[in-house]
Amino acid sequence: MEDVVNLEYRIDHFSLLVKDLARSIKFYTDVFGFEVIAETSNAKIRWLKIGGSDTIHLSEGDTTTTSLRKDTHFALRVSDLDVFLADMQNRAIAYYDWPGNINKVGERFDGYRQVYIQDPDGYWIEVNNHGP
């Protein structure tokens, strides 16, 4: 087995295929406060800043073959999960624990609390209070 070269890999961005780009931009900017940072030359692709240098790329297209299972998700951490949950309740956005109980908070094996919400295309998003 060869030695692994340590290049300090970090996640640069992730990309989601969405049905309606404008609807998805509205969701991610209104609910999470992400900012549109790049209007690419392709009108069906937009980049949004999550925080720091992290980004999400949204691409409009045919999502009929996209898997929307909860075990295929991305996770965001917040400094105060209770404030996030109150905001979701104020917006009438349902959240779930891992088994799927509505408006219930779960706890991960490492003790951090977590919930799952879905975006307009049905992608699952974990939100937790995992510290830095």
* Per-residue pLDDT, 1: 65
User: Do residues 36 and 26 lie in contact, with contact meaning Cβ atoms separated by under 8 Å?
Assistant: no
User: Do 71 and 59 fall within a single domain?
Assistant: no
pLDDT band at 127 (very low <50, low <70, confident <90, very high): very high
pTM (two decimals): 0.90
Domain that holds residue 54: 1-64
Of the three residues 15, 44, 64, the one that is the final residue of a domain is 64
**Total structural domains within the chain:** 2
- Does 72 share its domain with 117? yes
Q: Please write the tens of the pLDDT for every residue from 28-40.
A: 999 999 999 967 8
